[in-house]
Structure 1
Amino acid sequence: MEKVFGVYICTGCGIGEALDVEKLKEAADYYKPKVLKTHEFLCSQEGVQVIKDDIENEGVNYIVIAACSMRVNTDVFDFDPLKYVVERVNLREHVVWTQPPNDEKTQWMAEDYVRMGIVRAQNAEPPVPKTGDLEKTILVVGGGVAGLSAALEASKAGYKAVLVEKSSELGGRVKKMKRILPSRPPFDKPQEPTVDELIKAVEADPNIKVYTNTTVVS
């Protein structure tokens, strides 16, 4: 698909006060994006709507957002990843909140961040979803209580499971115990292990194939 770039620079959260935004725009304009805009709060409803309007009216599908950390506002800047490439440039936490404001080196750093973000976007492609039948067999390694339970849950969820156990029998360490900590009310006495019930359920389940005396190698 044709790459139509939109670069959006937020001036809120101290970014506009600590940096020369016009120079940031000049750094971005070198790459000739179709849309280059600033907004005082890109994460606001109005700010996000600016981007959505450009997607609809200008055909923007590569979105570079120079604002806050990519760790925050993920629900705000939520654009379909199969249709749009979104590159987040962290000017807030990585630059203006950690470097001296209105400083030449801080400005250079911010401009470099914008350049790097645009170049990353230029070299990105939306993921192509895999179509066709996918393998739905789940490998469970270990035939102890956890492995037995995992295989049964996989079967209940509609998947086939292959259970691999390196020893000659299922059950793990619990199989050798005569009593275990109580897991049922009134929790006042040790109880007999229930692992035998799990083993019987696994062995009787047609969706589970068991291999003992077996190890997994890469």
Structure 2
Amino acid sequence: MAASPLNVQPSFHARSNSLPSRQHPITSQIDENLNRLRASQSASTSSSSTGHELTCLQDLYDYVDMLLQFPLTQQALAQDQQRKSVEQVLDASLVLLDVCGTAKDALLQIKECTKELQSVLRRRRGEVEGFGDEVRKYLTSKKEVRKAISKAFKNLKHMDNKLMSKDGETGSVISTLKQVVAATMGVLQSLLSFISGPEASSRWSLVSKLMHQKRVRCEEEEEKTN
């Protein structure tokens, strides 16, 4: 799994003029969900763990939305000394939205190509002649997806370096939002890595092996029928 920015330690418990000195229940929930994400990130990458991370992330954003509705939070974000940090968080949010769009498009493209490949497999019933063209088409599509994902990774890395800079004063609200952004980056990195999958050579080897096994089974069934 790619290195995740989720190792950032919680800092929004600190006393600040941005939030009441006593921790609000919402911030406790945010803290809890961040910890859940960190625990999930330490597990191995799989479809189940990635799905769990996405579920945790959805819960996390529900509480963040509640936090942003508080008048005290809005007052803290409106302070002049927080302006640069707020702009950084907003810019980071736009990058995250763009990366989410990349992940969505990649999933749709892979799903469509996989359905087409499965359809070809069913129609050919084990015949391998001309099947290489279909597989190459599928792998080309996957290569395009990997290229888009690679660009998304670079955008995330650039955003991480910019977001974690210490320019300007950072209040507890901004600190919380930056940790949420970092958590989102970690989940998106896991998701993109999962979508990207193994190298093309490994996929080709697997497909070739499956086609060989399918052809052998068809030949054996044909011999039994004869």
Q: Fold-level match, TM-score > 0.5?
A: no
Higher RCO, 1 vs 2 (CA within 8 Å, ≥6 residues apart): 2
Richer in helix (by share): 2
* TM-score (structure 1 length as normaliser): 0.22
TM-score relative to the length of structure 2? 0.22
Pair member with larger Rg: 1
